[in-house]
Structure 1
Amino acid sequence: MHDFFRTVQVQRDDDHRYYHHSRINQSLHLLSACTFVCSYVLLFVDPAAAALLAWTVAMTSRQAGHFFFEPKGYDHVNQATHAYKEEIKVGYNLRRKVVLMLLWVAVPLLLWLQPDLFGLVEPAAGTEGWLRHVGLAWLALGVAAVLMRTVHLFFLQGVVAGLAWATKILTDPFHDIKLYWKSPFALMRGELIDPMHDVAR
């Protein structure tokens, strides 16, 4: 168990120091984290609505931070190139995220063109029914994305690393709130890049 918790912490620390330099990205992660926490609660009441909220607000804000605001140049804090950081990314690097987001966009289009999903589901009745089908399909996509990368990591880095990553992903919203709640205030002071004093070597 000690190795497991240590691996989770290492993955958390690496995620922060390598991939969250932009204060805009951090602030968007705070928005995403708060939304994900709401989605977690809603999951017990209305899974389809929870997935719609998670994917449309939490995931889009989170990934926008990475794609559009996170610096892609040389990382002087960690003495690493962007290419190196993409190569060692434990979870979904930008290339994998592009594939995931394309699947996310494809789901509602597929359900619009094939309401019965090739005979797998009962066709939705009206727009509300279609949205509920989209939400449930997005929920399945999210679960599948976590499970597939977890199992993939079993083979790449071992079972402990895979389970640690899955745990990290599921608990990231709570950790991000703790870590980035001050980021919007730093952004309002005009600080676009976190000086990373907590991780600078």
Structure 2
Amino acid sequence: MTFFEELQKQRWDDHRYYHHNRINQFLHLLSAMSFLASYILVFYYPAAAALVGWLLAMVLRQTGHFFFEPKSYDEVNKATHQYKESVKVGYNLSRKVVLLSIWALVPVVLFFKPDFFGAFTPASTFTGFINNMAIIWLYVGLGAIAFRTIHLFKLMGVQSGLVWMSKIITDPFHDIKIYHKSPYYIMKGEMYDHMNDWYEEASFENQPVKS
């Protein structure tokens, strides 16, 4: 596949396997708008960008995955939850637990090591503590993207890694495009997306890109 064909494929697999629930889609819509705010803030106030990205955008996004997305057998794609987890190119739920645990441990470590092993001048105010914590969170997010991208270089090849990185960075724009109607479907009482329109529009075989 070309770069853009694989990008389309990874997006399709991510959508059809992990975004059936309309509330999950709506939370992704809110998350996407929050991430776009972070993208703007990072040029002016990186700490604020990290706070918006982690506390708002990521919490909304992962709430949708962990609490609303069904984990039962997927009749639409004829796949088990275990299979989906095994072929997930990016961060599956197990990897997300590890990442979120690291994120949650940052303020704890910073509280007991205010200089964060020499990385900061210890904060003398609560505002300073929050600023240092947010900067670490920013590096945790960037590091998570870099780590998985390099890992995919080894597992699937350089193109697949770069495709995934591009997908992650552009996901907020794509999520707004495909999930902007989610509030409408929720108000109609349609709580699950059966992917009919996507299957008709997909220009490739419905097989996952395996990791």
What TM-score results when the alignment is normalised by the length of structure 1?
Answer: 0.97
Aligned AA for 2:106?
V
1:200, CA displacement in angstroms?
4.4
1:103, CA displacement in angstroms?
0.5
Are the equivalent residues in 2 in contact too, given 1:77–1:200 (CA < 8 A)? no
- Separation in structure 1 between the aligned mates of residue 194 and residue 138 of structure 2, nearest angstrom: 36
Within 5 Å, which residues of 2 pair with 1:144-183? 144-183=143-182
Look up the match of 2:65.
66
- Separation in structure 1 between the aligned mates of residue 192 and residue 112 of structure 2, nearest angstrom: 44
More displaced 10-residue stretch of structure 1: 110-119 or 150-159: 110-119
1:194, CA displacement in angstroms?
1.0
Look up the match of 2:207.
none
1:119, CA displacement in angstroms?
2.4
- Partner deviation per Cα, 1:79-128 (whole Å, 9 max, x = no partner): 10100000000000000000000011001111111111122321012111
1:74, CA displacement in angstroms?
0.7
Look up the match of 1:94.
93
- Separation in structure 2 between the aligned mates of residue 46 and residue 154 of structure 1, nearest angstrom: 32
1:27, CA displacement in angstroms?
0.3
Look up the match of 1:84.
83
Aligned AA for 2:53?
A
Look up the match of 2:4.
5
SS at 1:199 equivalent: helix
Look up the match of 1:35.
34
Aligned AA for 1:167?
S
- Separation in structure 1 between the aligned mates of residue 198 and residue 84 of structure 2, nearest angstrom: 16
SS at 2:73 equivalent: coil
Look up the match of 1:47.
46
What residue ranges of structure 2 are gaps of 5+ in the alignment?
Answer: 201-211
- Partner deviation per Cα, 1:29-84 (whole Å, 9 max, x = no partner): 00000000000001110001100110000001100100000010111111101000
Runs of 4+ in structure 1 displaced over 2 angstroms? none
